[in-house]
């Protein structure tokens, strides 16, 4: 088994179907362009039976990005699969992604079907999908709460029917890494190289990325994920975190993707401008504070050598630069550097006065702006070389 992991991006489908994230066709096309720059392997464009807009989005993405593998979602029934098939008519590399729930909880309360009926629906949907496209993915919704023998039976049946990818979602974000790895390992063992095993994790317990990585270690070779981790409820596994975990820790995680990491931050920023919220400031990789330092000890270490407090070069993910935030925790080293950046030269005594006065101000505020710092520097008589 090779170490290349395929990135299946579902920002435009699972991400888009969550509150505050809906996108027009034009917005999906704009985001699609960025995802193509980013180098995702598969782009899931929508759920064509759900709305005219989703149907049009899949069609437009198929036309606009002929080199890209475009996926359309369908429940395991005739109407959904036919609609997905039609939405993909113009795609050069179409994939129908059909799903049905397999856990007893979903069978009993939601579908009101027996296990045999669900296998029959799944097989029929895969067979029908294969009449439209060569590339069919099957998802066993709520796989992590499904009886394992039954999950294996379903997986074998859909592969025999023609599915080339079997996705085992942790639909409700319930699993933990070791358990998920065991489930994935069992199905990888059962279907061997007849199909790729894929993972799709939700973040209800904050474990989506950890679970996805554990699954890859157990043999999965496709990860379904989204930019900024958007998605149903607490979201999906964040694409940027998975990719950078592989890039940063190849000693422990010897896996590669086709992602061009320098597009991660621009992609995150574009998504934020399209939907109604951005990542939280302390979000890994793309959050506003991901490469910001305020504590004096950290700033001093960073200025001596960035590797003391940064494990990723911000430029490698498209973040323009590290931010040294000046606040009450900042030290002399960072203050001196900021004064110089603003065009002021300080002797040692002036630096001491600057430090004392700055700390007094910063103690009362959340942060101090550059114009306030410049005013303070002028007050203490710092020599302004270029500043006015």
Binding site for ligand KIV (CB under 6 A): 14, 99, 139, 141, 167, 169, 171, 200, 202
Helix axes 25-38, 264-274, angle to 10 degrees: 170
Q: What is the 3-state secondary structure (H, E, C) of 103-158?
A: CHHHHHHHHCCCHHHHHHHHHHHHHHHHHHCCEEEEEEECHHHCCHHHHHHHHHHH
CB 241 within 8 A of CB 268: no
CB 38 within 8 A of CB 22: no
Calpha distance 42→73 (Å, rounded): 13
Which residues from 91-120 bind Zn ion, rule CB under 5 A? Answer: none
CB 42 within 8 A of CB 9: yes
Least distance (Å) between residue 14 CB and ligand KIV:
5
Calpha distance 214→357 (Å, rounded): 50
| From 13-21, 29-37, 98-106, 140-148, span contacting Zn ion (CB under 5 A) | 13-21
Q: Strand 323-324 vs strand 292-293: parallel, antiparallel, or unpaired?
A: parallel
| From 8-16, 45-53, 110-118, 135-143, span contacting Zn ion (CB under 5 A) | 8-16
Least distance (Å) between residue 250 CB and ligand KIV:
29
Please, which residue, 169 or 327, has the CB nearer to ligand KIV? 169
| Residue 257 interaction partner, one of Zn ion, ligand KIV, none, beta carbon < 5-8 Å per kind | none
Least distance (Å) between residue 233 CB and ligand KIV:
10
Please report which helix (H) or strand (E) contains residue 245, including its range. Answer: helix 239-248
By beta carbon distance, the residue nearest Zn ion is 14
| Residue labelled with tokens 């998975």 | 242
Calpha distance 71→135 (Å, rounded): 9
Assess 14 for contact with Zn ion (CB under 5 A): yes
Please, which residue, 171 or 350, has the CB nearer to ligand KIV? 171
Coil, helix or strand at residue 205: coil
Least distance (Å) between residue 20 CB and ligand KIV:
18
Please, which residue, 58 or 303, has the CB nearer to Zn ion? 58
Please, which residue, 129 or 335, has the CB nearer to ligand KIV? 129
Least distance (Å) between residue 221 CB and ligand KIV:
17
Calpha distance 74→58 (Å, rounded): 12
| Residue 99 interaction partner, one of ligand KIV, Zn ion, none, beta carbon < 5-8 Å per kind | ligand KIV
C-alpha count within 13 angstroms, C-beta hemisphere, residue 266 = 17
| Residue 139 interaction partner, one of Zn ion, ligand KIV, none, beta carbon < 5-8 Å per kind | ligand KIV
Number of chain positions touching Zn ion (CB under 5 A): 1
Helices (H) and strands (E) in the chain, counts: 14, 12
Please, which residue, 14 or 27, has the CB nearer to Zn ion? 14
Least distance (Å) between residue 169 CB and ligand KIV:
3
Please, which residue, 74 or 335, has the CB nearer to ligand KIV? 74
Least distance (Å) between residue 2 CB and Zn ion:
26
Please, which residue, 32 or 173, has the CB nearer to ligand KIV? 173
Give me the residues that bind Zn ion (CB under 5 A), please.
14
């Amino acid at each position: 088994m090779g170490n290349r992991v395929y990135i299946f991006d579902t920002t435009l489908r699972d991400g888009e179907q969550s509150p505050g994230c809906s996108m027009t066709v034009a917005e999906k096309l704009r985001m699609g362009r960025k995802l193509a720059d980013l180098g995702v392997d598969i782009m899931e464009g929508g759920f064509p039976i759900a709305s005219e807009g989703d149907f049009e989005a899949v069609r437009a993405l198929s036309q606009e990005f002929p080199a890209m593998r475009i996926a359309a979602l369908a429940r395991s029934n005739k109407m959904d699969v036919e609609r997905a098939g039609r939405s993909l008519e113009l795609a050069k590399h179409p994939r129908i992604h059909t799903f049905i729930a397999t856990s007893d909880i979903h069978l009993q309360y939601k579908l009101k079907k027996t296990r045999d009926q669900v296998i029959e629906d799944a097989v029929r949907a895969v067979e029908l999908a294969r009449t439209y496209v060569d590339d069919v993915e099957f998802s066993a919704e709520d796989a992590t709460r499904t009886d394992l023998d039954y999950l294996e039976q379903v997986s074998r049946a859909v592969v025999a029917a023609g599915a080339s990818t079997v996705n085992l979602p942790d639909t409700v974000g319930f699993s933990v890494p070791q358990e998920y790895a065991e489930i994935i390992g069992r199905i990888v063992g059962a279907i061997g190289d007849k199909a790729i095993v894929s993972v799709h994790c939700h973040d209800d317990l904050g474990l989506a990325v950890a679970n996805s990585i554990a699954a890859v270690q157990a043999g999965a070779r496709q990860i379904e994920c989204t930019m900024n981790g958007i998605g149903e409820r607490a979201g999906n596994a964040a694409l940027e975190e998975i990719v950078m975990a592989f890039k940063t820790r190849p000693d422990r995680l010897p896996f590669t993707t086709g992602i061009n990491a320098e597009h991660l931050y621009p992609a995150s920023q574009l998504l934020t401008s399209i939907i109604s919220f951005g990542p939280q400031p302390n979000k890994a990789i793309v959050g506003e504070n991901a490469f910001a330092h305020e504590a004096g000890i950290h700033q001093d270490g960073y200025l001596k050598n960035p590797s003391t407090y940064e494990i990723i070069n911000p430029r490698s993910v498209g973040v323009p630069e590290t931010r040294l935030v000046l606040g009450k925790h900042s030290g002399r080293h960072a203050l001196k550097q900021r004064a110089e950046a603003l065009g002021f030269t300080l002797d040692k005594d002036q630096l001491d006065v600057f430090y004392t006065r700055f700390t007094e101000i910063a103690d009362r505020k959340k942060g101090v702006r550059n114009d306030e710092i410049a005013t303070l520097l002028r007050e203490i008589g710092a020599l302004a070389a270029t500043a006015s």
